[in-house]
Amino acid sequence: MEFTPKFTITPALTNTLLEIERHKEAIDVLPINARMVASLRETARMISTHYSTQIEGNALAISEVEQLAQGHKGGFPGKDRDEREVRNYFKALAYVESLVGQDSSITEKQIKEIHSLVLKGAKRGTPYREGQNVIRDNRSARIVYMPPEAKDVPKLMKVLSEWMNLQIKGKILPAPIIAGLVHYQFATIHPYYDGNGRTARLLTTLLLHNMGYGLKGIYSLEEYYAKNLLAYYEALNIGDNHNYYMGRAEADVTPFLEYFLSGMALSFSSVRKEVEKYKSLPQVDQVKKIRELRPMQKQVLSLFEKSKEVSLQEIADHLGVSSRAVYRNLKEWIEMDFVVIINPSKKGRTYGLSEPWENMLQQKDDRL
C-alpha cells in the first residue's frame, strides 16, 4: 500500500503557482509591523473559524463568532452545539499555531490531537474509526462516497504521513501542490466518523506554515471553500465510482489541485491588497486605525473602498450574514462614528463612512 497521487502540472496550474509566488514575495517585503500583524491575524482566525465550521452546518453568524473570539461567554439561544464547535475550533487553531516553527515534520499524533480538539475541545488524540462510514447527499440521502474500510485506515494514514514528511524535507514538489494533495488524500481516507473536513483544513494550514507559506497567519482559505461549497465538494468528488476501491484511490486529482491552488492565489491576493492599503500611511496612524477596528469593520471597510454609499442589504451580502445582524452592528458603528446614514428614508436607506474614515481612505488613495 502506497500513496502515489496521479496528477498533471497543466499550464493552468503553472500559471497559478506563479501567481501565488508573486503575491507571497510581494507580501514578504511589505512593511508590516507586529501590531498590524496581530490585528490581521485576529481577523484571519475569526474568518477561518466561522467559515470552516459553517461548511459543516454551524449556524452561528459571523458577528456571534466574533463575540466568542473576543471572550464573550456566549449563551446564544438554541445554539449551544454551535458555540461548542466554534470554541473547539479556536482551540484547535491555537494548537496548530503553537506547532509552527517547532519542527517542519507533522506526526500522526499531532493530527489525532488536532482532531480531538476539533471534536471534543481536548488534546487527547482521537483513535481512527473502527467501522465503515459513508458520505451522503444531504438532500437525497444517496451515497456519494464510500471511504476505505476501517482496517485499512491506520496503514493509509501512516503512508500519507510518511509521504507528507518526505515531501516537506525534500521539497520535491512545490508547497502548494503538496498541501493540496494532503488535503485531498486526508478527505479521501476519511479516518474519522466526524470532523474530517475541519481536521483536513487545519492540517493544510499547519503544512503551509511549515513550508514557508503561512504569511504570518494573516490569511484564510476557508472563506474560499465556504462561499462556493458546491465547487468544494465537486472538486473533492473525483473518479467515476463513489467507492474508494473502485477507482477513487487511483483517480486523477488534477481538477482538485486546480481548484485548491486557485483558492490559495485568491486568498494571497486578498491579503496583499489588505496590507498594501496601509503601506503608505504614517506608521503611528496605521497602527491606530487598524487597532480601532473589529474584524467585521475591516471587512466592511473594503466594501466602502468600492462604493461610497451602500445599503444594509449590500453590507449583509458582503459579510455573508443576515440583515438583522448587520442592523445591530450598524447602530453600534454609528455611535462609534465609523459609519453615518446618508439617505435616511426607510425604503432606500443607505450608509457611508464617517468623515474621519472617508478622509483616511482618500489619503491612502492619494499616496498610492
Q: Is the pLDDT of residue 91 over 90?
A: yes
pLDDT at 284: 45
| Distance from C-alpha of 14 to C-alpha of 118, rounded to nearest angstrom | 34
Task: Find the mean pLDDT for residues 22-43.
Answer: 80
Q: Is the pLDDT of residue 365 over 80?
A: no
pLDDT at 7: 95
pLDDT at 291: 66
pLDDT at 344: 85
Provide Rg for the chain, Cα atoms.
22
Helix (H) or strand (E) holding 343: strand 339-343
Give the lowest-confidence range in 155-169, 280-294, 345-359.
Answer: 280-294
Residues 145, 240 contacting (CB under 8 angstroms): no
Residue 22 — pLDDT band, cuts 50, 70, 90? very high
For cell 499547519, what's the residue?
A: 206
Task: Find the mean pLDDT for residues 270-295.
Answer: 67
Q: Is the pLDDT of residue 368 over 80?
A: no
| CATH class of the region 11-276 | mainly alpha
Residue 278 — pLDDT band, cuts 50, 70, 90? low
Task: Find the mean pLDDT for residues 78-102.
Answer: 93
pLDDT at 75: 82
Query: 106-156, pLDDT tens digit by residue?
Result: 999 999 999 999 999 999 999 999 999 988 877 777 888 899 999 999 999
The pLDDT mean for the chain works out to 88
Query: 179-236, pLDDT tens digit by residue?
Result: 999 999 999 999 999 999 999 999 999 999 999 998 888 888 999 999 888 888 888 8
pLDDT at 263: 95
| Distance from C-alpha of 16 to C-alpha of 359, rounded to nearest angstrom | 36
Count Cα atoms within 13 angstroms, Cβ side, for 241.
10
Closest CA to 304 of 345, 269, 338: 338
Q: Is the pLDDT of residue 322 over 60?
A: yes
Q: Which three cell numbers stand for residue 118?
A: 476539533
Model's pTM, two decimal places?
Answer: 0.77
Q: Is the pLDDT of residue 362 over 70?
A: no
Q: Is the pLDDT of residue 82 over 50?
A: yes
Helix, strand or coil, per DSSP, at residue 252: strand
Give the lowest-confidence range in 99-108, 230-239, 358-367.
Answer: 358-367
Task: Find the mean pLDDT for residues 48-71.
Answer: 91
- Report domain extents, the chain: 11-276, 283-367
Q: Is the pLDDT of residue 40 over 50?
A: yes
pLDDT at 283: 47
pLDDT at 275: 79
Residues 357, 338 contacting (CB under 8 angstroms): yes
Query: Which CATH fold would you assign to the domain 283-367?
Result: Arc Repressor Mutant, subunit A (1.10.10)
| Distance from C-alpha of 285 to C-alpha of 264, rounded to nearest angstrom | 30
pLDDT at 27: 86
pLDDT at 130: 96
Q: Is the pLDDT of residue 165 over 90?
A: yes
Side chain identity at residue 303, one-letter code? L
Per CATH, 11-276 and 283-367 having the same topology is answered no
Q: Is the pLDDT of residue 250 over 90?
A: no
